[in-house]
Structure 1
Amino acid sequence: MNTEDQYDAIVVGTGISGGWAAKELCENGLKTLVLERGRMVKHVQDYPTMNDDPWDYDLKGELSKDDKKKYHVQNRVGWAPKEDNKHFFVNDLEHPYVETKRFDWIRGYQVGGRSLTWGRQSYRWSDIDFEANKKEGISIDWPVRYKDISPWYDKVEEYIGVSGENLGLRQLPDGKYQPAMQLNCVEKDLKKAVSEKFDDGRVVTIGRTAHITDPNANFENRGVCQNRNRCSRGCPFGGYFSSNSSTLPAAERTGNMTLRANSIVYEISYDDVTKKATGVKVIDAETNEKIEFKAKVIFLCASAMASVGILLQSKSARFPNGLGNDSDALGRGIMDHHYKLGATAKVDGYLDKYYKGRRANGFYIPRFVNLDAATKREGYLRGFGYQGTASRQDWSAAVAEMGYGKALKEEILKPGQWQIGVTGFGEFLPYDDNRVTLSPTEKDKWGLPQLAFDVEFKENEYRMREDIKKEIVDMFKKAGFKDVNSYEESSGPGLGIHEMGGARMGHSAKTSILNKHNQVHTVPNVYVTDGAFMTSSSCVNPSLTYMAFTARAANHAAAAFKAGTFS
C-alpha cells in the first residue's frame, strides 16, 4: 500500500455534509484532503443536459429498457432517474447490495453527491423532535437541544439561501429566509379552507426551499432561481444550493483544499497506542491501487449508510466489531421517512387562472398531530407533514377528443382542469433491530463486502400511514375539491431518500457511537456528520440539519486542532 503525504484533515464525501465540512475546515486554515468515491463533476461544465428540452430525447425523457435494468433500484423512486439526469444516479448493476428485507437505497456517486439532485426542502428541527425519545422512552436521548443548533441553522440558511415564510410555530422554528415563493390560486384556496375549517393549528404555507429568490442578494458566483424546474440536471445559475456551486468552491478559494475523485474509502486507520485515527485507506476506483492518506482529523460524510459501512469495516484489535463500536449500536436504528402515499383531487373553477414559470417548489403542511394533549392521536407516536402542489392538466386530455384539424389544434392549446396532489412525510421510529451489516459472502467489484439491509416498517409506522391518508382526504373534501382519492404505492424504507441512523449520537459510549459534537466517543478525532449520526428522524427533510451539525462539528474540530488536542 502506498502512503501519501500528511494532511491536517480528511473529509470523506462531497455531498451536502462533505461540502460543508470542507468549507469550514479550509476556511479555518486546515490543509484538507477531500475524497469522493465517484467521478469528478465540475459546476456548469459537467451538467450536460442543463438546457435540454423534452424533444431532445428519443424516449421523451424515459429510460430505455437497458437503462431500466441498470437503474432497477434507483428507478423505484418513479421520478428519477430519467434520460436527462441518469448520469447523477448509480448504476445498480455495478453497485449492488443485499436486501434481507426490501430497502430502496438511492445513491449518486460523483463530486457533489446527491446535493445535485436533492429536493432542497429545508426545515429546522424543534425541541419537540430533540426531546421526543427521552419523553417517550424510545431508543436513547439526544445529547443536544434546539438552542445548541439554532445559531448553526442561522449560519447555514444565510449562506445557502433558503426561501420561505416564518410562521411562529413551535414545532417548526422560524429561520433566516429569502423572499417566499408564491402559492397559486388553488393552493391559496386550500390554505383558506384549512384555516377556517380546522382548529387544531393546521397551516398551509409555501415550502421552505434552498433557492435564491432575492435578485439583490449577494451570493458569490451564484444567481437567482430562474424557475426552470430543471434542478436535478445541475443548475448552471447556481440558483439552488449544491456542494458544486457553493461550499466546494468556497473551500477551493482558500487554497487549502485538495480534491481527489475516484477514491473509495474503505477503512479508517487506528493507532492502538495513541488511541486516535491516523488516516484512511483508499482504493482508486480506476486503477485499483491501494493508498493510505494520513491526517490528524477525519470527517466521515460519505452518506449515512456508506459511512456506517466504512466504520464497520474499520476493525482492529481494539475495535473488532467496527471503529467505536463498544456499544454494539453501530449499524442499528436505521430510519427513513414515509413516502409514496397521500391523496389527489380535481378542482373546479379558476379556468381563467394560470401561473408563471415552473416553480421548483410546492406547498407545505407542517406537523399538527401528537404535539400536545389536544392533538393526541391514539395508536401511534410522533407525526407527519405534507408536501404537494396544484397545477393545471396539460394537453393530453385532448387525445381522447374526436376533434381533428383546427378544432383539435385549438383544444390542445388550452390548459386543462386544475388538479392537486399531496405526499405525506411521516416519522420513522429508531428500532435497534432495524439494522445494516456487512454481508459475510457478497462482495462488490473491488472486493469489499456489500451492505446487507434488514430494515422494515413496524406497527407504529403502519398506523401512522393510515392516518396520513385519512387526514389529507378530509382536508381536500372540506376544501370542496372533487374526485378525492387517497393513494399508497408499493415502497420500502429508503425510498424517501432520507436514510438516517446507524452511528447515532448519545450521552455515553455504552449506548451510542458519537458524542454531542459528532465525535466518535472513543476515537475523538473522527467526526461523523452525515445522516448516520441521527438518533431519531423527525418528519421534516433532514438535509438542513445535517448541514447545521456539520458546520458546528467542523468548527469544533478546527478549534481542537489549533489547540493541539489531536497532536
Structure 2
Amino acid sequence: MNNEEIYDAIVVGTGITGGWAAKELCENGLKTLVLERGPIVKHIEDYKTMNDDPWNYPLKGELSKEDKKKQHIQNRVGWAPKEDNKHFFVNDLEHPYEEIKRFDWIRGYHVGGRSLTWGKQSYRWSDIDFKANKKDGNGVDWPVRYKDISPWYDKVEEYIGVSGQNLGLKQLPDGIFQPPMGLNCVEEALKESMASSFDDGRLLTIGRAAHLTDKNAKFEGRNPCQYRNRCSRGCPFGGYFSSNSSTLPAAERTGNMTLRPNSIVHEVVYDAKTKKATGVKIIDALTNEKIEYKAKVIFLCASAMASVGILLQSKSERFPNGLGNDSNVLGRGIMDHHYQLGASAKVDGFLDKYYKGRRPNGFYIPRFVNLDKKTSRKEYLRGFGFQGGASRGNWSEAIAEMGYGAELKEHILKPGQWQIGATGFGEMLPHDDNRVMLSKTKKDKWGLPQLAFDVEFKENELNMRKDILITIEETFKAAGFKDVSTYDNSTGPGLGIHEMGGARMGHSAKTSIVNKYNQIHSVPNVYVTDGAFMSSSSCVNPSLTYMAFTARAANHAAKEFKAGAFS
C-alpha cells in the first residue's frame, strides 16, 4: 500500500456500520480505504468452528479456567464467549480499560466485528423515540424525525433481509419483511392469553430478525437460514446478515475498496487552514509501525466507545479537548439498555407437541407503557419491551446416575417439561454525567490511553426495572404458567451490548457533536455513524437504526464529494 495516496474516503471499522459505509461509498464510485484494528476473517473460510458439535470440546463448549482469565470481562455476559466462538471476542488482558464505575464492554476485534455475533434483532424507531428528548426535556432534540429515516430503513431491510410481521403499531413501525419465523405452541398460548387478559395494548409477536426466510429470494452469496442456531460461529450459508457475508463483498466487487486489517486508528488528523480532516493515523497491530493515511472523507464506524476514544485522542490547537468538541459534550450521554432482568416459569401441558429445528430467534413483546394517558407511569419516563422464548426442558435426566442402560436411553430421548422465559430491554436516559474519558494514568500495549468509564443506571432506570419485573410476572401468571420466578442480576451498563452515545446528534455545535447527516458540526468531512451518534436509546435493538443512518450519511457524503465540497 502507498500511504502517500490520497483516497476519496477512509472507513474506520468493518462491523455493522463500517460494512455499510464501505458498500455505499464504493458503489458510489469513491476509492475507499477500509481500516480494521483486528485480523482478517474471510467469509466461510475462517469460520473454523461452524460445524462443530458439543462433543468436539473437552468441556462441552465451556471456557477453560485459563480462557476465563483472558476473557474475564467478556465472560460477564454469561452466554458468551464459549469454546466455539471465543476467537470472536477480545482478550481482556490485551485490551484493558478503566472502570470508575462498572461497565461491561463486550467487543470483537476482527474483520466483521460484532456483525458476526450480534443477535440480529432488527426494529425501527418511531417518532415517539425521535421526539422523546424534546418532549420530556432529557438530552438534546434529535434534528431528524421518522419520515427522514423511513426510506433508509426500507433500503436496509430489503438488502439485509429481515423476517418478521407487520403489526400496525405507532411505537414500532412496520417494515419490509421476509416471511416470519413461527411461534411454538406455548408462545402461541401466551399470545392468546395476553390478548384476552389485558387491555393496555400488550401483545406478542415473533422477533424481527435479520435472517433470510424466503427460499425464493435472491441475495448474492447468501442462502436462507438453516435453523442451526450456530450463528455466533459465523454462518457458512450467509443465512443471517453480517458484513463478511454481505456488505464487504459488495464493496469489494466494485473494485473501489482497499481493506487493511491490523490497523489501530488512534487519531483523525485536522488541518486548521482548510478546517477539514486530512486523514487518520494508525499503529500496525503486529509491527507497531506508525502510518498516516490521507483521504477527503472520513467515516468513524469503529463502534461507539472506540469512535469516541479516537475523537478524544484527536487533539490539536483548534480542538484541545478532542476533534469537534466545541460543546464539551464529547464522551457524555453514554447509554445502554437494561438487561439481565426478567422472569422464567414452568408450563403444564402441551406434552404431545414439539418444534422443528433450532430457531435462531424468539418472541417479542413491544413497548406498551408511557404511550398515552391510559398506559402512563408516574415513576419513570420512556418504556421497555421483552424478548423471550419457550422450549422443552434441557434433558437433565441424562445426567449422572439418573438412569442406566435402556432406562437411561429412554430418559435421553424423552423431552422434558415446557419452560418459558423473557428478558426485559428498557430505555436508558441520556444523562450527561454518564461519560467516558481518556484515562489519565493507564495506557494499553501500544502506548495509547485507555478509556475510563463513569456510567451507571440512575433513578429513572432503577424505577423502570421494578416495573419490568412486575409486568412480566403478571403476564406469565395470567397465562397460567407455574413457579413464576423473577430475576434481577446486579450489573452495570454494557451487558445489553447496545452501548451508544458520546458523540451525539443535534441541531447545534453548542450542544452536540454531529449534525443531522452525521457530520461533525465543525469538521464536515468527518462522519460518525456507529452508535456514538445516538442522542437517546429507545428500548429496541439499535443496529437497524445504525445501518439506516449510515446508508443515509454515506450517500450524503458521496453527493457532497462529487459536488466538490471536500476538495
Deviations 1:314-367 (A, max 9, x none): 000100000000000100000000000000000000101000000000000000
Q: Summarize the alignment of residues 32-431 of structure 1 with structure 2, pairs less than 5 Å apart.
A: 32-399=32-399, 403-431=403-431
CA distance in 2, matches of 1:139, 1:422: 30
Residue 398 of structure 1 deviates from its aligned partner by 4.7
Partner SS for 2:72: coil
CA distance in 1, matches of 2:109, 2:250: 21
Partner SS for 2:95: coil
Residue 395 of structure 1 deviates from its aligned partner by 1.9
Deviations 1:265-307 (A, max 9, x none): 0000000000000000000001100000000000000000000
Partner SS for 1:422: strand
CA distance in 2, matches of 1:412, 1:72: 34
Deviations 1:456-480 (A, max 9, x none): 0000000000100110000000000
CA distance in 2, matches of 1:119, 1:4: 40
- Assess if the C-alpha contact under 8 Å between 1:346 and 1:417 holds in 2: yes
Residue 19 of structure 1 deviates from its aligned partner by 0.2
- Assess if the C-alpha contact under 8 Å between 2:327 and 2:511 holds in 1: yes
- Assess if the C-alpha contact under 8 Å between 1:429 and 1:537 holds in 2: yes
Partner SS for 1:244: helix
Aligned length: 566
TM-score by length of 2: 0.99
CA distance in 2, matches of 1:334, 1:148: 24
**Where does the alignment leave 5 or more consecutive residues of structure 2 unmatched?**
none
CA distance in 2, matches of 1:299, 1:194: 45
CA distance in 2, matches of 1:265, 1:34: 11
Residue 90 of structure 1 deviates from its aligned partner by 0.2
CA distance in 2, matches of 1:285, 1:401: 51
Partner SS for 1:375: coil
Code of the aligned partner of 1:564: G
Residue 440 of structure 1 deviates from its aligned partner by 1.0
- Assess if the C-alpha contact under 8 Å between 1:191 and 1:203 holds in 2: yes
Is 1:437 paired with 2:434? no
Partner SS for 1:438: strand
CA distance in 2, matches of 1:492, 1:164: 31
CA distance in 1, matches of 2:397, 2:378: 43
Residue 408 of structure 1 deviates from its aligned partner by 2.4
- Assess if the C-alpha contact under 8 Å between 2:336 and 2:496 holds in 1: yes
Deviations 1:122-174 (A, max 9, x none): 00000000000001011110000000000000000000000000000000000
Residue 491 of structure 1 deviates from its aligned partner by 1.4
Q: Summarize the alignment of residues 497-508 of structure 1 with structure 2, pairs less than 5 Å apart.
A: 497-508=497-508
Code of the aligned partner of 1:323: L
Partner SS for 1:407: helix
CA distance in 2, matches of 1:264, 1:41: 16
CA distance in 1, matches of 2:445, 2:309: 16
- Assess if the C-alpha contact under 8 Å between 2:139 and 2:430 holds in 1: yes
CA distance in 2, matches of 1:371, 1:152: 25
Residue 399 of structure 1 deviates from its aligned partner by 3.6
Code of the aligned partner of 2:422: V
Code of the aligned partner of 1:314: S
Code of the aligned partner of 2:165: E
- Assess if the C-alpha contact under 8 Å between 1:112 and 1:243 holds in 2: yes
- Assess if the C-alpha contact under 8 Å between 1:505 and 1:515 holds in 2: yes
Residue 411 of structure 1 deviates from its aligned partner by 1.8
CA distance in 1, matches of 2:21, 2:438: 27
Partner SS for 1:22: helix
Code of the aligned partner of 1:261: P
Code of the aligned partner of 1:29: G
Query: In the alignment, what sits opposite 1:552?
Result: 552
- Assess if the C-alpha contact under 8 Å between 2:397 and 2:411 holds in 1: no
CA distance in 2, matches of 1:105, 1:243: 21
Partner SS for 1:11: strand
With over 3 angstroms needed to count, the CA separation of the structure-2 counterparts of 1:285 and 1:410, relative to structure 1, is same
Is 1:527 paired with 2:527? yes
CA distance in 1, matches of 2:364, 2:514: 32
Structure 1: 4+ residue segments shifted above 6 A: none
Code of the aligned partner of 1:69: K
Residue 404 of structure 1 deviates from its aligned partner by 2.5
Q: Summarize the alignment of residues 473-552 of structure 1 with structure 2, pairs less than 5 Å apart.
A: 473-552=473-552
Residue 490 of structure 1 deviates from its aligned partner by 2.4
**Where does the alignment leave 5 or more consecutive residues of structure 1 unmatched?**
none
CA RMSD across the alignment = 0.9
Residue 394 of structure 1 deviates from its aligned partner by 2.6
With over 3 angstroms needed to count, the CA separation of the structure-2 counterparts of 1:556 and 1:383, relative to structure 1, is same
Code of the aligned partner of 2:65: K
Bigger mean CA offset, 60-69 vs 400-409: 400-409
Residue 41 of structure 1 deviates from its aligned partner by 0.4
CA distance in 1, matches of 2:399, 2:553: 56
Deviations 1:157-207 (A, max 9, x none): 000000000000000000000000000000000000000000011110000
Residue 403 of structure 1 deviates from its aligned partner by 4.0
CA distance in 2, matches of 1:562, 1:470: 55
Partner SS for 2:4: strand
Partner SS for 2:309: helix
Residue 519 of structure 1 deviates from its aligned partner by 0.1
- Assess if the C-alpha contact under 8 Å between 1:326 and 1:509 holds in 2: yes
Partner SS for 1:554: helix
Residue 489 of structure 1 deviates from its aligned partner by 1.4
Code of the aligned partner of 2:289: E
- Assess if the C-alpha contact under 8 Å between 1:4 and 1:291 holds in 2: no
CA distance in 2, matches of 1:23, 1:404: 57
Code of the aligned partner of 2:477: K
- Assess if the C-alpha contact under 8 Å between 2:397 and 2:403 holds in 1: no
CA distance in 2, matches of 1:3, 1:319: 25
- Assess if the C-alpha contact under 8 Å between 2:26 and 2:257 holds in 1: yes
Partner SS for 1:503: coil
Residue 406 of structure 1 deviates from its aligned partner by 1.6
- Assess if the C-alpha contact under 8 Å between 1:16 and 1:113 holds in 2: yes
CA distance in 1, matches of 2:127, 2:536: 12
